[in-house]
Amino acid sequence: MNDLSPKLTKARQRMLERDLRQRGIRSPRVLRAMERVPRELFVPPDAQAWAYSDQALPIDCGQTISQPYIVALMTESAQLTGAERVLEIGTGCGYQTAILAELAMEVFTVERHEPLAREAQQRLGACGYTNVHFRIGDGSRGWAEHAPFDRILLTAAARQCPPALWDQLADEGILVGPFGSPDQQFLQARRKIDAQCFTTTLTACRFVPLIADSPPASET
């Protein structure tokens, strides 16, 4: 056990109580997943001491790992029961991916930055997750070959929902993500019922932008 481990254990419990339960996260399954997944493995080594602080942290390629509360809120809003096939747009470091893998049947995750995708795949493999499929490419196009998806999570902000993602969401499915301009974004859960969109706004937020029109996708 390294020197940080006792401090991280205490910090994880503080995160669960102060940053999640006290802020309204109620799902026992989500709370258990947030407790099980070692967030310190998904942040840069020099940021491990802040792994369980409720703030976004920088990772490679100019991206971030979202604060724990936002990860938990997005996951809870997806209402996962364990039988879903989930599409994640923006693998990043793989932390949100790991939380989804704990709670869903299958996760299909797309990342446009190849270094992040490769590192996340290695990291999640080392953690023992076997229900995650990886793709490098333009997340705004989704992953049509495996559609429809019961749930879709966006970890980058779009002004509008990309049409391809909405088309790939199954009927009665839920899409969770940040929408709006760089200066004003709102995290929303959008349920699809008979092709109609029913939106719940969860909170104001600030995410890195969703970037489209990257090179053609490739599976890893």
Contacts of 130 (CB under 8 A, 6+ apart): none
pLDDT band at 6 (very low <50, low <70, confident <90, very high): confident
Domain boundaries, the chain: 55-211
Give me the active site residues, please. 66
Q: What are phi and psi of 172, to 5 degrees?
A: 70, 10
Would the pLDDT of 4 be above 80?
A: no
Tens digit of pLDDT for each residue in 36-78?
A: 999 999 999 999 999 999 999 999 999 999 999 999 999 999 9
Domain 55-211 in CATH: superfamily?
Vaccinia Virus protein VP39 (3.40.50.150)
pLDDT band at 214 (very low <50, low <70, confident <90, very high): very low
β strands within 43-195, DSSP E: 57-58, 64-65, 85-89, 106-111, 132-136, 149-154, 169-181, 184-193
As a whole number of Å, the end-to-end CA separation of the chain is 32
Query: Of 118, 79, 121, 126, which Cα lies nearest the Cα of 100?
Result: 79
Tens digit of pLDDT for each residue in 153-172?
A: 999 999 999 999 999 999 99
